[in-house]
Amino acid sequence: NAGVTQTPKFRVLKTGQSMTLLCAQDMNHEYMYWYRQDPGMGLRLIHYSVGEGTTAKGEVPDGYNVSRLKKQNFLLGLESAAPSQTSVYFCASTKGLPSYNEQFFGPGTRLTVL
Amino acid sequence: RKEVEQDPGPFNVPEGATVAFNCTYSNSASQSFFWYRQDCRKEPKLLMSVYSSGNEDGRFTAQLNRASQYISLLIRDSKLSDSATYLCAVNRDDKIIFGKGTRLHILP
């Protein structure tokens, strides 16, 4: 099993460009999450999904959109990138409620917006 | 008050010493508590869950104090390989909220 994978690993964007980050898991997990991690800020939840076809807002959703069309994939979109979105983005998944199930993280995507 | 708070450190500790981290949480309804470890430029990985009665895994001991709303992590006989950032995490409904992490440097 590959676990949780993220594509791409690195990306540099110019302000105003758009892009989509892909998260894929092969563990048949129901719940998937997108976090961003900035120096001194810890992990902050952007959006999450409790199952195929569902999405919900986290702590810092502005400027991002997500889709969960297939159970194994969770996409994070930036419609018009801003320098404030320079960050490391982590995807995570859990089999069920995260209260009772370990969160597995992907290796991260390092995004720089110039 | 932040929902999950940790001392950011860094903690610089000589090899072989014992080190303790504390984490406080504000939501009294939280039921699940975790410690994650994150190596430099890597993803977080679950170190251990924290149970009401406290639990131990080798050199690592986790404790929960519901009355004071804090959890702790104790590392005994620290190794160079323990150098990492330790993240406290607490559940809120169907989400996990993370603290900012505490950096630990084990000195040879």
The H-or-E segment that residue B48 falls in is strand B44-50
Query: What does B52-104 look like in DSSP terms, one character per residue?
Result: TT-EEETTEEEEEETTTTEEEEEE-S--GGG-EEEEEEEEETTEEEE---EEE
To the nearest whole Å, the CA of B102 is away from the closest chain A CA by 10
pLDDT of residue B94: 84
Q: Do B94 and A48 touch (CB under 8 A)?
A: yes
Ranges under pLDDT 70 in chain B: none
pLDDT of residue A39: 86
pLDDT of residue A2: 83
pLDDT of residue B53: 85
For residues A2 and A103, is the Cβ–Cβ distance under 8 A?
no
Instruction: Give first-to-last CA distance, chain A, whole Å.
Output: 36
pLDDT of residue B74: 97
Nearest CA in chain B to A45: B97
Phi, psi (5° rounding) for residue A31?
Answer: -100, 135
Q: Do B98 and A43 touch (CB under 8 A)?
A: yes
A9-68 pLDDT, tens per residue?
A: 999 999 999 999 999 999 999 999 999 999 878 899 999 999 999 999 999 999 999 999
Phi, psi (5° rounding) for residue B91?
Answer: -80, 150
Among B79, B80, B69, B87, which residue's Cα sits nearest to residue B21? B87
To the nearest whole Å, the CA of B16 is away from the closest chain A CA by 28
Nearest CB to B100 within list A42, A48, A108: A42
| B91 interaction partners in chain A (CB closer than 8 Å) | 98-99
